[in-house]
Protein backbone atom coordinates (compact mmCIF):
# COMPACT_ATOMS: atom_id res chain seq x y z
CA UNK A 1 0.00 0.00 0.00
CA UNK A 2 2.86 2.33 0.96
CA UNK A 3 4.60 1.60 -2.37
CA UNK A 4 1.42 2.50 -4.25
CA UNK A 5 1.15 5.80 -2.39
CA UNK A 6 4.80 6.56 -3.15
CA UNK A 7 4.27 5.79 -6.85
CA UNK A 8 1.15 7.97 -6.96
CA UNK A 9 3.00 10.80 -5.23
CA UNK A 10 5.92 10.55 -7.70
CA UNK A 11 3.56 10.49 -10.68
CA UNK A 12 1.68 13.51 -9.32
CA UNK A 13 4.97 15.34 -8.72
CA UNK A 14 6.19 14.61 -12.24
CA UNK A 15 2.86 15.69 -13.72
CA UNK A 16 3.11 18.94 -11.80
CA UNK A 17 6.66 19.52 -13.01
CA UNK A 18 5.70 18.80 -16.62
CA UNK A 19 2.72 21.15 -16.26
CA UNK A 20 4.94 23.92 -14.92
CA UNK A 21 7.42 23.34 -17.74
CA UNK A 22 4.61 23.53 -20.30
CA UNK A 23 3.35 26.75 -18.75
CA UNK A 24 6.85 28.16 -18.73
CA UNK A 25 7.27 27.33 -22.41
CA UNK A 26 3.97 29.09 -23.11
CA UNK A 27 5.09 32.17 -21.19
CA UNK A 28 2.35 31.80 -18.58
CA UNK A 29 4.63 31.98 -15.55
CA UNK A 30 6.68 35.03 -16.48
CA UNK A 31 6.53 38.04 -14.23
CA UNK A 32 4.25 40.91 -15.12
CA UNK A 33 7.20 43.23 -15.88
CA UNK A 34 8.56 40.63 -18.30
CA UNK A 35 5.12 40.13 -19.82
CA UNK A 36 4.78 43.88 -20.36
CA UNK A 37 8.21 44.06 -21.96
CA UNK A 38 7.24 41.26 -24.35
CA UNK A 39 3.78 42.48 -25.41
CA UNK A 40 4.08 46.28 -25.30
CA UNK A 41 5.91 46.61 -28.66
CA UNK A 42 2.71 45.36 -30.35
CA UNK A 43 0.52 47.95 -28.56
CA UNK A 44 0.20 51.29 -30.37
CA UNK A 45 -0.99 54.78 -29.54
CA UNK A 46 -3.71 56.05 -31.90
CA UNK A 47 -4.53 59.70 -32.53
CA UNK A 48 -7.28 60.64 -34.96
CA UNK A 49 -8.79 63.92 -36.08
CA UNK A 50 -12.29 64.72 -37.20
CA UNK A 51 -13.27 67.95 -38.95
CA UNK A 52 -16.64 69.36 -37.95
CA UNK A 53 -17.99 71.27 -40.98
CA UNK A 54 -20.74 72.89 -38.93
CA UNK A 55 -18.37 74.95 -36.79
CA UNK A 56 -16.77 78.24 -37.78
CA UNK A 57 -13.83 77.80 -35.41
CA UNK A 58 -12.30 74.94 -33.45
CA UNK A 59 -13.44 72.68 -36.28
CA UNK A 60 -10.72 70.09 -35.76
CA UNK A 61 -11.48 67.57 -33.01
CA UNK A 62 -8.76 65.19 -31.84
CA UNK A 63 -9.33 61.82 -30.23
CA UNK A 64 -6.89 59.35 -28.77
CA UNK A 65 -6.99 55.65 -28.10
CA UNK A 66 -5.09 52.41 -28.23
CA UNK A 67 -4.75 49.55 -30.66
CA UNK A 68 -2.64 46.44 -31.06
CA UNK A 69 -1.03 44.73 -34.04
CA UNK A 70 -2.64 41.39 -34.90
CA UNK A 71 -0.86 40.41 -38.12
CA UNK A 72 2.56 40.67 -39.73
CA UNK A 73 1.05 42.51 -42.71
CA UNK A 74 0.15 45.52 -40.55
CA UNK A 75 -3.41 44.96 -39.35
CA UNK A 76 -4.24 46.80 -36.12
CA UNK A 77 -7.30 46.03 -34.00
CA UNK A 78 -8.97 48.83 -32.02
CA UNK A 79 -12.37 50.26 -31.07
CA UNK A 80 -14.63 51.72 -33.71
CA UNK A 81 -15.39 54.77 -31.58
CA UNK A 82 -11.69 55.69 -31.62
CA UNK A 83 -11.38 55.89 -35.42
CA UNK A 84 -14.78 55.72 -37.13
CA UNK A 85 -15.64 58.87 -39.10
CA UNK A 86 -12.16 60.36 -38.66
CA UNK A 87 -10.45 62.17 -41.51
CA UNK A 88 -6.87 61.31 -40.52
CA UNK A 89 -5.47 58.56 -38.30
CA UNK A 90 -1.91 58.35 -37.01
CA UNK A 91 -0.28 55.50 -35.12
CA UNK A 92 2.64 55.89 -32.74
CA UNK A 93 4.68 52.72 -32.32
CA UNK A 94 6.35 51.63 -29.12
CA UNK A 95 9.76 52.45 -30.65
CA UNK A 96 8.70 56.06 -31.23
CA UNK A 97 8.04 55.77 -34.97
CA UNK A 98 4.90 57.38 -36.38
CA UNK A 99 2.92 56.04 -39.31
CA UNK A 100 -0.32 56.95 -41.07
CA UNK A 101 -3.08 54.36 -40.69
CA UNK A 102 -5.72 53.43 -43.23
CA UNK A 103 -9.19 52.36 -42.16
CA UNK A 104 -9.86 48.81 -43.36
CA UNK A 105 -13.22 48.22 -41.72
CA UNK A 106 -15.31 49.21 -38.72
CA UNK A 107 -18.46 48.16 -36.91
CA UNK A 108 -19.88 50.67 -34.40
CA UNK A 109 -22.32 48.11 -32.98
CA UNK A 110 -19.61 45.72 -31.80
CA UNK A 111 -17.28 48.73 -31.38
CA UNK A 112 -14.49 47.08 -33.32
CA UNK A 113 -12.33 48.43 -36.13
CA UNK A 114 -9.35 47.25 -38.16
CA UNK A 115 -6.61 49.59 -39.42
CA UNK A 116 -3.64 48.92 -41.67
CA UNK A 117 -0.22 50.46 -41.13
CA UNK A 118 2.91 50.27 -43.30
CA UNK A 119 5.23 47.34 -42.57
CA UNK A 120 8.80 48.47 -41.83
CA UNK A 121 11.79 46.57 -43.17
CA UNK A 122 12.38 44.94 -39.78
CA UNK A 123 8.81 43.66 -39.63
CA UNK A 124 6.19 44.14 -36.94
CA UNK A 125 5.60 42.59 -33.53
CA UNK A 126 2.26 40.81 -33.25
CA UNK A 127 -0.06 40.21 -30.32
CA UNK A 128 -1.94 36.92 -30.34
CA UNK A 129 -5.70 36.77 -29.81
CA UNK A 130 -6.47 34.22 -27.12
CA UNK A 131 -9.62 32.22 -26.43
CA UNK A 132 -11.97 34.32 -24.32
CA UNK A 133 -14.39 31.41 -24.01
CA UNK A 134 -11.95 29.71 -21.64
CA UNK A 135 -11.52 32.56 -19.15
CA UNK A 136 -12.89 32.20 -15.64
CA UNK A 137 -13.97 34.73 -13.04
CA UNK A 138 -11.03 35.49 -10.78
CA UNK A 139 -8.31 34.97 -13.38
CA UNK A 140 -5.60 37.61 -13.33
CA UNK A 141 -5.51 40.01 -16.28
CA UNK A 142 -3.62 43.13 -17.29
CA UNK A 143 -4.62 46.01 -19.56
CA UNK A 144 -2.05 47.87 -21.65
CA UNK A 145 -2.94 51.18 -23.25
CA UNK A 146 -2.72 54.95 -23.22
CA UNK A 147 -5.16 56.24 -20.57
CA UNK A 148 -5.58 60.02 -20.79
CA UNK A 149 -2.69 60.07 -23.27
CA UNK A 150 -0.19 58.46 -20.87
CA UNK A 151 1.66 56.15 -23.23
CA UNK A 152 2.23 52.44 -22.57
CA UNK A 153 0.48 52.20 -19.22
CA UNK A 154 -0.20 48.85 -17.56
CA UNK A 155 -3.01 48.24 -15.11
CA UNK A 156 -3.66 45.00 -13.29
CA UNK A 157 -6.77 43.22 -12.05
CA UNK A 158 -8.91 40.13 -12.40
CA UNK A 159 -11.82 38.98 -14.52
CA UNK A 160 -14.73 40.26 -12.43
CA UNK A 161 -17.49 38.83 -14.62
CA UNK A 162 -18.21 37.26 -17.97
CA UNK A 163 -21.10 37.46 -20.41
CA UNK A 164 -22.20 40.84 -19.08
CA UNK A 165 -25.15 41.82 -21.26
CA UNK A 166 -25.47 45.61 -21.32
CA UNK A 167 -28.38 46.32 -23.69
CA UNK A 168 -28.58 50.03 -22.87
CA UNK A 169 -25.11 50.57 -24.30
CA UNK A 170 -25.41 52.33 -27.68
CA UNK A 171 -22.91 49.99 -29.30
CA UNK A 172 -24.37 46.80 -27.92
CA UNK A 173 -26.65 44.24 -29.47
CA UNK A 174 -26.72 41.91 -26.48
CA UNK A 175 -22.94 41.83 -26.61
CA UNK A 176 -21.48 39.63 -23.84
CA UNK A 177 -18.75 41.82 -22.35
CA UNK A 178 -15.92 40.76 -20.09
CA UNK A 179 -15.98 42.74 -16.84
CA UNK A 180 -12.69 43.54 -15.13
CA UNK A 181 -11.47 45.60 -12.20
CA UNK A 182 -8.27 46.52 -14.05
CA UNK A 183 -8.41 50.30 -14.41
CA UNK A 184 -9.76 51.31 -17.84
CA UNK A 185 -9.98 55.02 -18.66
CA UNK A 186 -10.49 57.16 -21.78
CA UNK A 187 -7.47 56.44 -23.95
CA UNK A 188 -7.43 52.75 -23.02
CA UNK A 189 -10.15 52.20 -25.61
CA UNK A 190 -9.08 49.65 -28.21
CA UNK A 191 -6.21 48.29 -26.16
CA UNK A 192 -5.76 44.65 -25.18
CA UNK A 193 -6.96 42.95 -22.04
CA UNK A 194 -4.34 40.24 -21.56
CA UNK A 195 -4.22 36.95 -19.71
CA UNK A 196 -1.06 35.88 -17.94
CA UNK A 197 0.15 34.17 -21.10
CA UNK A 198 0.22 37.56 -22.83
CA UNK A 199 -2.72 36.73 -25.11
CA UNK A 200 -5.39 39.34 -25.82
CA UNK A 201 -8.60 37.85 -24.46
CA UNK A 202 -10.50 41.15 -24.76
CA UNK A 203 -10.51 44.58 -26.39
CA UNK A 204 -10.99 47.26 -23.74
CA UNK A 205 -13.92 49.44 -24.69
CA UNK A 206 -15.89 51.09 -21.90
CA UNK A 207 -16.49 51.77 -18.24
CA UNK A 208 -19.04 53.22 -15.86
CA UNK A 209 -18.60 56.94 -15.32
CA UNK A 210 -18.50 57.60 -11.60
CA UNK A 211 -17.79 53.96 -10.74
CA UNK A 212 -14.53 52.48 -9.53
CA UNK A 213 -12.88 49.34 -10.88
CA UNK A 214 -15.67 48.46 -13.29
CA UNK A 215 -14.50 48.20 -16.88
CA UNK A 216 -15.59 46.20 -19.90
CA UNK A 217 -13.91 44.52 -22.84
CA UNK A 218 -15.21 42.94 -26.03
CA UNK A 219 -14.33 39.21 -25.88
CA UNK A 220 -11.62 38.09 -28.27
CA UNK A 221 -13.71 35.23 -29.69
CA UNK A 222 -16.11 37.85 -31.10
CA UNK A 223 -13.20 39.77 -32.62
CA UNK A 224 -11.85 36.58 -34.20
CA UNK A 225 -15.21 35.99 -35.81
CA UNK A 226 -15.73 39.47 -37.29
CA UNK A 227 -12.21 40.62 -38.22
CA UNK A 228 -12.16 38.58 -41.46
CA UNK A 229 -15.42 40.22 -42.61
CA UNK A 230 -14.18 43.69 -41.63
CA UNK A 231 -11.08 43.07 -43.75
CA UNK A 232 -13.04 41.60 -46.65
CA UNK A 233 -16.10 43.89 -46.78
CA UNK A 234 -15.13 46.87 -44.63
CA UNK A 235 -18.22 46.35 -42.44
CA UNK A 236 -20.38 43.72 -40.78
CA UNK A 237 -23.33 42.88 -43.01
CA UNK A 238 -26.42 42.26 -40.89
CA UNK A 239 -30.16 42.30 -41.62
CA UNK A 240 -32.49 45.06 -40.41
CA UNK A 241 -35.95 44.67 -38.94
CA UNK A 242 -35.77 47.84 -36.90
CA UNK A 243 -37.56 47.00 -33.64
CA UNK A 244 -36.44 46.47 -30.06
CA UNK A 245 -38.45 45.04 -27.20
CA UNK A 246 -38.98 42.13 -24.84
CA UNK A 247 -40.24 38.59 -24.91
CA UNK A 248 -43.37 38.29 -22.78
CA UNK A 249 -45.03 35.17 -21.48
CA UNK A 250 -47.21 33.96 -18.62
CA UNK A 251 -44.88 35.19 -15.87
CA UNK A 252 -44.69 38.68 -17.38
CA UNK A 253 -48.45 38.86 -17.85
CA UNK A 254 -49.06 37.77 -14.25
CA UNK A 255 -47.16 40.85 -13.04
CA UNK A 256 -49.28 43.19 -15.16
CA UNK A 257 -52.64 41.46 -14.99
CA UNK A 258 -53.30 42.88 -18.47
CA UNK A 259 -54.99 41.03 -21.35
CA UNK A 260 -51.76 40.56 -23.32
CA UNK A 261 -50.77 37.68 -25.59
CA UNK A 262 -47.46 35.84 -25.48
CA UNK A 263 -44.85 37.05 -27.94
CA UNK A 264 -42.32 39.78 -28.57
CA UNK A 265 -43.48 43.16 -27.22
CA UNK A 266 -42.29 45.95 -29.53
CA UNK A 267 -41.06 48.90 -27.45
CA UNK A 268 -39.23 51.02 -30.02
CA UNK A 269 -39.22 51.25 -33.82
CA UNK A 270 -36.21 52.69 -35.64
CA UNK A 271 -36.86 55.53 -38.09
CA UNK A 272 -36.64 54.47 -41.74
CA UNK A 273 -36.66 50.79 -40.87
CA UNK A 274 -38.84 48.18 -42.58
CA UNK A 275 -40.89 48.00 -39.38
CA UNK A 276 -41.68 51.71 -39.51
CA UNK A 277 -42.57 51.60 -43.18
CA UNK A 278 -45.07 48.82 -42.43
CA UNK A 279 -46.50 50.84 -39.52
CA UNK A 280 -45.41 48.56 -36.72
CA UNK A 281 -46.24 50.38 -33.49
CA UNK A 282 -43.87 50.88 -30.57
CA UNK A 283 -44.69 51.40 -26.90
CA UNK A 284 -45.91 54.68 -25.42
CA UNK A 285 -46.66 53.91 -21.75
CA UNK A 286 -43.60 53.52 -19.48
CA UNK A 287 -44.00 51.40 -16.35
CA UNK A 288 -41.57 49.92 -13.83
CA UNK A 289 -41.46 46.21 -13.00
CA UNK A 290 -38.88 45.23 -10.37
CA UNK A 291 -36.77 48.25 -11.31
CA UNK A 292 -36.97 47.53 -15.03
CA UNK A 293 -38.64 49.94 -17.43
CA UNK A 294 -41.16 48.52 -19.86
CA UNK A 295 -42.89 50.44 -22.66
CA UNK A 296 -46.43 49.19 -23.11
CA UNK A 297 -48.79 49.89 -25.97
CA UNK A 298 -46.74 48.50 -28.81
CA UNK A 299 -47.53 45.65 -31.16
CA UNK A 300 -46.79 42.11 -30.04
CA UNK A 301 -45.14 39.79 -32.57
CA UNK A 302 -46.65 36.37 -31.96
CA UNK A 303 -45.37 34.40 -34.95
CA UNK A 304 -42.20 34.93 -37.00
CA UNK A 305 -41.63 32.84 -40.13
CA UNK A 306 -44.03 30.23 -38.82
CA UNK A 307 -42.46 29.98 -35.34
CA UNK A 308 -44.34 30.89 -32.12
CA UNK A 309 -41.87 33.52 -31.03
CA UNK A 310 -42.71 33.62 -27.30
CA UNK A 311 -40.57 30.53 -26.77
CA UNK A 312 -36.95 31.62 -26.18
CA UNK A 313 -35.67 28.69 -28.24
CA UNK A 314 -37.82 29.72 -31.22
CA UNK A 315 -36.89 33.37 -30.78
CA UNK A 316 -33.18 32.53 -30.87
CA UNK A 317 -33.66 30.25 -33.86
CA UNK A 318 -35.51 32.98 -35.76
CA UNK A 319 -32.91 35.67 -35.01
CA UNK A 320 -29.98 33.45 -35.95
CA UNK A 321 -31.61 32.48 -39.24
CA UNK A 322 -31.99 36.04 -40.56
CA UNK A 323 -29.92 37.09 -43.57
CA UNK A 324 -29.97 40.12 -45.82
CA UNK A 325 -32.38 39.48 -48.69
CA UNK A 326 -34.55 36.98 -46.80
CA UNK A 327 -38.33 37.28 -46.76
CA UNK A 328 -39.73 37.78 -43.26
CA UNK A 329 -43.34 37.05 -42.35
CA UNK A 330 -44.67 38.32 -39.04
CA UNK A 331 -47.99 38.02 -37.26
CA UNK A 332 -48.76 41.06 -35.09
CA UNK A 333 -51.26 41.46 -32.27
CA UNK A 334 -52.72 44.88 -31.46
CA UNK A 335 -55.79 45.71 -29.35
CA UNK A 336 -57.31 42.27 -29.73
CA UNK A 337 -56.77 42.09 -33.48
CA UNK A 338 -54.10 40.40 -35.57
CA UNK A 339 -52.54 41.30 -38.88
CA UNK A 340 -49.80 39.78 -41.00
CA UNK A 341 -46.95 41.60 -42.71
CA UNK A 342 -44.08 40.44 -44.90
CA UNK A 343 -41.06 42.16 -46.35
CA UNK A 344 -37.56 41.48 -47.66
CA UNK A 345 -34.76 42.21 -45.21
CA UNK A 346 -32.43 45.07 -46.20
CA UNK A 347 -28.93 45.55 -44.82
CA UNK A 348 -28.86 47.42 -41.54
CA UNK A 349 -27.27 50.87 -41.93
CA UNK A 350 -25.13 52.59 -39.31
CA UNK A 351 -27.50 54.57 -37.09
CA UNK A 352 -26.73 57.58 -34.87
CA UNK A 353 -27.43 55.54 -31.75
CA UNK A 354 -24.65 53.10 -32.68
CA UNK A 355 -21.94 55.69 -32.29
CA UNK A 356 -19.98 56.05 -29.08
CA UNK A 357 -17.61 58.99 -28.74
CA UNK A 358 -14.24 58.66 -27.02
CA UNK A 359 -14.49 59.92 -23.47
CA UNK A 360 -18.23 59.27 -23.32
CA UNK A 361 -18.09 55.57 -22.53
CA UNK A 362 -20.74 55.65 -19.82
CA UNK A 363 -22.78 52.47 -19.70
CA UNK A 364 -26.03 51.92 -17.85
CA UNK A 365 -27.21 48.43 -16.98
CA UNK A 366 -30.73 49.70 -16.42
CA UNK A 367 -33.27 47.62 -18.33
CA UNK A 368 -32.97 44.37 -20.22
CA UNK A 369 -34.39 45.03 -23.66
CA UNK A 370 -33.59 42.45 -26.29
CA UNK A 371 -32.79 44.22 -29.58
CA UNK A 372 -34.37 42.58 -32.60
CA UNK A 373 -32.53 44.14 -35.52
Q: Which residues are catalytic?
A: 81, 111, 189
Give the Cβ contact number of residue 73 at 10 Å.
Answer: 11
Rounded Cα gap, residues 191 and 68, in angstroms: 6
Main-chain dihedrals φ then ψ at residue 249, nearest 5 degrees:
-140, -155
3-state secondary structure of 17: helix
Is 38 buried (19+), middle (13-18) or exposed (0-12) by CB count in 10 A? middle
Q: In angstroms, how far is CA 19 from the centroid of its own chain? A: 33
Cβ-proximal residues to 126 (8 Å cutoff; 6+ apart), any chain: 42, 69, 70, 71, 72
Q: Burial-class residue 297 by CB neighbours within 10 Å (0-12, 13-18, 19+).
A: middle
Amino acid sequence: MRHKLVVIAIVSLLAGIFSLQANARAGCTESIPDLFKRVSPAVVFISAIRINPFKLKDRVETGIGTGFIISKDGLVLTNSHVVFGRQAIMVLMDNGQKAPAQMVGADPILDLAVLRIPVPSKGLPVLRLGDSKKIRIGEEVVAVGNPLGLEQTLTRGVVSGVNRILPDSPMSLSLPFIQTDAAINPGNSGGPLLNRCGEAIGINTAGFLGAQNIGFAVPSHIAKKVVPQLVKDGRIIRPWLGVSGKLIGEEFRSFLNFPLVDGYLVETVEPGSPAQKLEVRGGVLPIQIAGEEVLLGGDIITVANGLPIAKPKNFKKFIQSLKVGDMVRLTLHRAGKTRKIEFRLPERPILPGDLLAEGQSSISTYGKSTPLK
